[in-house]
């Protein structure tokens, strides 16, 4: 799933940008949206921001407050929890707000949000939406073990390789924290070619949110549960330093 945050001061056009991006991205996949709330929610009232998200075509809209309040479907969600839930259901997530996160951002107005910033504009009218849509394809994917498992199952014949094994390891536990992408790519190649493994994916998930570590997800799809777990274990042995 590709994630992009739209940030800026009040009345800079954030919701206009979100609605336009949802409409355009809807031609390329399923879109979910999240809005940061600083007040009690005004749920889907005609003309209000969340109603505009839904009208534009968002499959699901969740509003979050800074103290953990929310509206939508679920219980006690944080931004990380929402994105984890979205990852296995949607192709894109557009987030309105959270300028202090590590999410890739469209920045409106004259504020300086936390990096990375994909593009800036004074307001919505000055934004090149075609460029923004193109840039979303270049940002790193946000994945969870569940979303990776879903991807593997969708890419495999329905009558085979229905057994999955997964594991997640913090990057800090790798034998070397240097050049993690190279290690991940090598692990991905090895797992895909391992005997008895039908499909596999190793994904380096950099932290986009405070309180979360950079991690590596490993997912294997195989015909036999024992072999699926063995393959995961063998690869973890190569990646993680044995103490």
Three state DSSP letters for 100-120? CCCCCEEEECCCCCCCCEEEE
Q: For residue 160, is pLDDT > 60?
A: no
Say which residues have a Cβ less than 8 Å from residue 158's Cβ, sequence separation at least 6: none
Q: What is the mean pLDDT of the chain?
A: 87
pLDDT for 169:
94
Q: Per-residue pLDDT averaged across 3-12, rounded?
A: 94
Among 83-92, 164-173, 182-191, 204-213, the range scoring the smallest mean pLDDT is 204-213
Choose among 117, 83, 85: nearest CA to 100.
117
Contact assessment for residue 143 and residue 87, using Cβ atoms and an 8 Å cutoff: yes
Higher pLDDT, 39 or 139: 139
Strand runs (DSSP E) across the chain, as ranges? 2-7, 31-37, 60-65, 70-71, 92-96, 105-108, 117-121, 163-170, 197-205, 215-222
Residue with tokens 């995961």: 232
Say which residues have a Cβ less than 8 Å from residue 67's Cβ, sequence separation at least 6: none
Domain ranges of the chain: 2-136, 145-239
Higher pLDDT, 127 or 39: 127
According to DSSP, the β-strands at 163-170 and 117-121 are unpaired
DSSP of 135-156: HHTTSPP---HHHHHHHHHHHS
According to DSSP, the β-strands at 2-7 and 31-37 are unpaired
Q: For residue 74, is pLDDT > 80?
A: no
Query: What CATH topology corresponds to 145-239?
Result: Alpha-Beta Plaits (3.30.70)
pTM: 0.81
pLDDT for 73:
40
Phi, psi of 61 (to 5 degrees): -130, 130
Starting at the earlier edge strand, list the strands of the sheet with 2-7: 70-71, 60-65, 31-37, 92-96, 2-7, 105-108, 117-121
Calpha distance 111→3 (Å, rounded): 21
Q: What are the tens digits of pLDDT across the range 205-242?
A: 999 887 789 999 999 999 899 999 999 999 999 998 65
| 89-102: b (≥16 Cβ within 10 Å) or e | ebbbbbbbbbbebb
Higher pLDDT, 74 or 39: 39
The tokens for 143 are: 């994945």
CATH class of 2-136: alpha beta
pLDDT for 35:
87
């Amino acid at each position: 799933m590709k994630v992009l945050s739209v940030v800026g001061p009040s009345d800079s056009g954030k919701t206009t940008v979100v609605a336009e991006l949802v409409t355009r991205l809807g031609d390329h996949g399923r879109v979910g949206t999240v809005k940061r709330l600083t007040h009690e929610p005004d749920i889907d009232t005609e003309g209000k921001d969340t109603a505009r998200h839904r009208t534009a075509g968002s499959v699901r809209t969740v509003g979050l407050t800074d103290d953990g309040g929310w509206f939508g479907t679920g219980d006690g969600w944080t931004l990380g929890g929402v994105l984890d839930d979205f990852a296995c259901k949607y192709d894109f997530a557009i987030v309105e707000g959270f300028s202090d996160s590590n999410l890739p951002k469209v920045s409106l107005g004259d504020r300086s949000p936390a990096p990375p910033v994909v593009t800036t504009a004074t307001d919505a009218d000055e934004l090149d939406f075609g460029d923004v849509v193109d840039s979303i394809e270049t940002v790193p994917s946000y994945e969870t073990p569940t979303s990776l498992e879903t991807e593997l199952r969708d890419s495999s014949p329905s009558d085979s390789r229905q057994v999955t094994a997964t594991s997640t390891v913090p990057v800090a536990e790798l034998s070397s924290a240097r050049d993690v992408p190279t290690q991940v790519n090598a692990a991905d190649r090895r797992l895909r070619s391992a005997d008895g493994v039908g499909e596999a994916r190793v994904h380096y998930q950099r932290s986009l949110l405070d309180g979360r570590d950079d991690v590596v997800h490993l997912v294997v799809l195989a015909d036999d549960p024992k072999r699926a777990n063995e393959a995961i274990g063998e690869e973890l042995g190569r990646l993680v330093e044995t103490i």
